[in-house]
């Protein structure tokens, strides 16, 4: 009898130890055990709903899931085609540590803040207090983010690592490709508050096909009501951006300031006649539209700063300008234009129309070779651009006369294929060329008919027909 009791006790002890070990082994090292655990997980943790489907593999050797769905009061998440490995030892301390994870696709929908009951609000949270998730190297094939106003943002080639706690998510590093824009995050954090707080810093690279590469070093700090931004522009020119994004969960908009240091149109294979452009702009926008207002100083004109205004929008690789307003206070020259600027290989492609008032050339200096009180112009196509202009022209000391020209505008000069001027009771048809690089020179040729020199000098009345051929080099303000 005594021996039987000893054997029974020993068997019970073995069962007490062995059964949990066997259950643990089954859960961690067999596919059937993994599926059993997943099927018995609660689908709701407080206000968070979790659903896991199509599970295969093992926890220790690597597990797969067709879908992981997480629905919380402020965000809805769907991850598909997941593979991950989980280290076993940290589970003892309620830490899920995944050294490697891949996700085929992710869908993230940020919900509008729900109307809260009167009284104090419950603080939002990412995870239960007892749980920590340490995500090692993770890659996501493609992702879709939907913000509360319905805007969809799509990205691909996503990778990174992060640490998730009760109310904080800290990103060690992350990379994301959105169309032609690449984001490389060197550090950042989200804090579960109302509104959500976030911070981050990294590099943004925009490489539109056939256009210069834009590179910015950026930082952000704030919340979804007021998110502060700061950036240093490294290419294709140098400058600084500061500003804020406001009301991101409702009617989002932004405003800021830009300091421009050495903007040069030659980076776009356009003329270098303007030289390095510097200045300061006040910026604002909402959705795809934005405005800019301030002063820009093109060093090549030597005419002082220009007052500039812009209003338009960017969409589908095209900048639509509703209004471009440029005024040079020193000379009084004023131009207004509108149209589109297409960002394409070999571009930009222009389709601009506008008017001018009080134009003079040169813009600076006491000696003025040409004046025009008013006129209109058009600029279209790819470089060299087609242009046309017509208006009132005044050359040297002559009276103003109507004139019209058409031709090509290149990065090194302008060629006039047809020009007509009514002057001195006659008419002149002219063509020519003005170049400013690599050397400054100009040529004009054509014919004139019915010119009455008596309009210039009363003692020389008559009617003259003649040809014109002139050339010269250099442009200099007197």
- Rounded Cα distance between 44 and 128, Å, is 11
Contact at 8 Å (CB) between 240 and 258? yes
Give the tens place of pLDDT for each residue, 238-254: 999 999 999 887 788 99
Within 13 Å, how many C-alpha atoms sit on residue 270's CB side? 15
Q: Is 318 helix (H, G, I), strand (E, B) or coil?
A: strand
The residue among 315, 313, 255 whose CA lies nearest residue 323 is: 313
Contact at 8 Å (CB) between 197 and 228? no
- Summary mean pLDDT of the chain: 84
Query: In this predicted model, which residue has the larger pLDDT, 457 or 391?
Result: 391
Q: Which residues of 369-396 are buried (b: 16+ CB within 10 A; e: fewer)?
A: eebbeebebbbeeebebebebbbebbbe
CA 207 and chain centroid, separation: 10
Contact at 8 Å (CB) between 320 and 340? yes
- Rounded Cα distance between 123 and 248, Å, is 19
Predicted local distance difference test score (pLDDT) of residue 29: 61
Give the tens place of pLDDT for each residue, 346-381: 778 999 999 999 999 888 888 887 889 999 999 999
Where does the pLDDT of residue 74 fall: very low under 50, low under 70, confident under 90, or very high at 90 and above? confident
Contact at 8 Å (CB) between 427 and 412? no
Predicted local distance difference test score (pLDDT) of residue 259: 97
CA 114 and chain centroid, separation: 31
Give the tens place of pLDDT for each residue, 83-118: 988 876 776 677 788 888 999 999 988 777 666 555
Give the tens place of pLDDT for each residue, 185-236: 999 998 888 888 999 999 999 998 878 999 999 999 999 899 999 999 999 9
CA dihedral (118, 120, 125, 131) in degrees, to 10, reads -120
Listed in sequence order, the residues at least 6 apart from 258 whose beta carbon sits closer than 8 Å to its beta carbon are 239, 240, 241, 280, 281, 283, 292, 294
User: If you average pLDDT over residues 260-266, what whole number do you get?
Assistant: 92
Query: In this predicted model, which residue has the larger pLDDT, 278 or 43?
Result: 278
Give the tens place of pLDDT for each residue, 425-473: 888 898 999 887 777 788 989 998 988 887 777 877 888 888 888 888 7
Listed in sequence order, the residues at least 6 apart from 234 whose beta carbon sits closer than 8 Å to its beta carbon are 215, 216, 217
User: If you average pLDDT over residues 69-80, what whole number do you get?
Assistant: 84
Contact at 8 Å (CB) between 316 and 326? no
Query: In this predicted model, which residue has the larger pLDDT, 243 or 63?
Result: 243
- Rounded Cα distance between 437 and 445, Å, is 21
Where does the pLDDT of residue 26 fall: very low under 50, low under 70, confident under 90, or very high at 90 and above? low
- Rounded Cα distance between 156 and 184, Å, is 13
Contact at 8 Å (CB) between 430 and 452? no
Contact at 8 Å (CB) between 452 and 426? yes
Where does the pLDDT of residue 20 fall: very low under 50, low under 70, confident under 90, or very high at 90 and above? low
Predicted local distance difference test score (pLDDT) of residue 175: 92
Tell me the pTM. 0.79
Listed in sequence order, the residues at least 6 apart from 146 whose beta carbon sits closer than 8 Å to its beta carbon are 107, 108, 109, 110, 152, 153
Predicted local distance difference test score (pLDDT) of residue 477: 46
Predicted local distance difference test score (pLDDT) of residue 266: 84
The residue among 313, 385, 323 whose CA lies nearest residue 351 is: 385
- Rounded Cα distance between 159 and 173, Å, is 8
């Amino acid at each position: 009898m005594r021996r039987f009791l000893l054997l029974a006790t020993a068997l019970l002890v073995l069962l007490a130890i062995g059964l949990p070990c066997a259950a643990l082994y089954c859960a961690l090292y067999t596919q059937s055990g993994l599926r059993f655990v997943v099927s018995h997980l609660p689908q709701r943790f407080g206000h968070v709903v979790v659903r896991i489907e199509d599970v295969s593999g093992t926890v220790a050797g690597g597990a797969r899931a067709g879908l992981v769905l997480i629905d919380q009061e402020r965000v809805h998440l769907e991850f598909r085609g997941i593979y991950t490995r989980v280290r076993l030892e940290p589970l003892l301390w309620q830490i899920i540590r995944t050294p490697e994870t891949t996700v085929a696709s992710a869908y993230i929908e940020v919900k509008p803040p729900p109307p809260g009951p009167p009284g104090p609000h419950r603080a939002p949270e990412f995870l239960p207090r007892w749980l920590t998730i340490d995500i090692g190297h993770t890659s996501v094939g493609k992702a879709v983010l939907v913000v509360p106003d319905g805007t969809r943002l799509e990205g691909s080639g996503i990778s990174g690592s992060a640490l998730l706690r009760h109310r904080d998510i800290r990103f060690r590093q992350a990379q994301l490709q959105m169309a032609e824009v690449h984001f490389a995050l060197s550090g950042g954090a989200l804090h579960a508050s109302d509104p959500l707080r976030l911070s981050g810093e990294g590099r943004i690279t925009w490489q539109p096909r056939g256009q210069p590469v834009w590179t910015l070093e950026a930082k952000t700090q704030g919340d979804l009501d007021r998110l502060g931004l700061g950036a240093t522009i490294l290419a294709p020119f140098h400058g600084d951006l500061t500003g804020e994004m406001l009301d991101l969960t409702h009617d989002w908009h932004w405003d800021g300031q830009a300091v421009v240091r050495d903007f040069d149109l030659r980076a776009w294979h356009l003329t270098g006649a303007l030289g390095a452009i510097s200045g300061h702009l006040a910026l604002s926008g909402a959705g795809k539209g934005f405005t800019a207002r301030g002063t820009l100083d093109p060093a090549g004109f030597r005419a002082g700063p220009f007052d500039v205004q812009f209003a338009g929008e960017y969409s589908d690789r095209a900048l639509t300008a509703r209004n471009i307003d440029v005024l040079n206070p020193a000379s009084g020259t004023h131009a207004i234009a509108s149209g589109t600027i297409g960002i394409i290989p070999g571009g930009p492609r222009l389709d601009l129309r506008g008017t001018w008032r009080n134009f003079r050339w040169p813009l600076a200096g006491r000696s003025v070779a040409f004046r025009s009180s008013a006129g209109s112009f058009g600029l279209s196509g790819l470089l060299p651009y087609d242009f046309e202009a017509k208006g009132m022209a005044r050359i040297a000391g002559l009276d103003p006369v109507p004139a019209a020209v058409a031709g090509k505008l290149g990065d090194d000069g302008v060629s006039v294929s047809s020009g007509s001027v009514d002057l001195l009771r006659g008419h002149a048809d002219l063509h020519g060329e003005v170049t400013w690089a690599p050397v400054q020179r100009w040529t004009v040729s054509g014919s004139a008919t019915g010119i009455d020199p008596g309009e210039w000098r009363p003692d020389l009345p008559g009617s003259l027909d003649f040809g014109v051929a002139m050339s010269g080099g250099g442009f200099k303000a007197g």
